[in-house]
Amino acid sequence: MNYELLSTKVIAITRLVGNFIRKESMNFSASSIETKGLNDLVSYVDKTAEQHLVDNLSTLIPEAGFVTEEGTSQKKGATFNWIIDPLDGTTNFIHGVPVYSISIALYEGEEPVLGVVYEINRGEMFYSYKGAPAFLNNKVIHVSQRNKLSDTLLATGFPYYQFDQQQEYMKLLAELMQQTHGLRRMGSAAVDLAYVACGRFDAFFEYNLNSYDVAGGAFLVKQAGGQVMNFSGGPEFIQKREILATNGLIDQEILSAIGKHFNKL
């Protein structure tokens, strides 16, 4: 498999779908909103964008399967599987907040081999593939080199359902607010992870996320020299639905804070 050539084709497909989403954002109506669950929103934009991605990616590797947020394809690949979120940050999109993205990852067996995160409104294409560094609009990116927690800027997400851990999580946030330059909540985990990969954020943590939220961005962080783990420091961040992505220099301090306040451990 020529992953470099494949990434070029995936990027072209992603830009086309991003153009569709950008165009629809100009005339989007609240009447188009559907509810999948508590605070879990979707629209025809998510569904149509996902269908475009599935249709076009299927031409690149016909035997590949898919893991998709909106269930457009149930196909499982014996070797290759795409993990895609057509619009990560749907709530932002619906409310006109211009932070949302397309996230794509390709797995070969259990190994991620390609990742793309496209922040649509800024026109920023983050991508990498097996054997390559991570890129932002064709320029190599790397995680930050800040090694003191007091010098860092962190990102997180707030739970929008399953609030049983909310109090512990707020205590964790309170501690980290006092020990860092601050916390940011962008509303798109894929964007948060891409920002860790390029050094804007020094770490990102969140729980109750799905594979399509984090697969593409997590691959970018690793390719950019960072680390990705669960809240116990292990590698099963997708299986456990909890993720900590860092520059590799502040892991232990954040893991210690998580262990102190967040009783999911």
Q: What is the full per-residue pLDDT of the chain (265 aa) written as tens digits?
A: 999 999 999 999 999 999 999 998 888 766 666 665 544 456 788 889 999 999 999 999 999 999 998 888 889 999 999 999 999 998 899 889 999 999 999 999 999 999 999 999 999 999 999 999 999 999 999 999 999 999 999 999 987 666 677 888 889 999 999 999 999 999 999 999 999 999 999 999 999 899 999 999 999 999 999 999 999 999 999 999 999 999 999 999 999 999 998 754 4
Check residue 29 and give its pLDDT. Answer: 65
Residue 77: how many other CB atoms lie within 10 Å: 18
Listed residue (149, 54, 135, 43) closest to 89, CA to CA: 43
Are the C-beta atoms of residues 212 and 98 closer than 8 Å to each other? no
Tokens representing 154?
């962190």
φ, ψ of residue 56 to 5 degrees: the values are: -75, -40
What is the set of domains in the chain, with CATH numbers? 3-140 (3.30.540.10), 149-261 (3.40.190.80)
**CA 221/CA 212 separation, integer angstroms:** 15
Distance CA 31, CA 55 (A): 27
The pLDDT assigned to 78 comes to: 97
DSSP letter (8 states) at residue 18: H
Return all residues near 69 (Cβ < 8 A) that are at least 6 apart.
Answer: 46, 50, 84, 85, 86, 210, 212
User: 182-199: string of b/e by CB count within 10 Å (b at 16+)?
Assistant: eeeebbbbbbbbbbbbbb
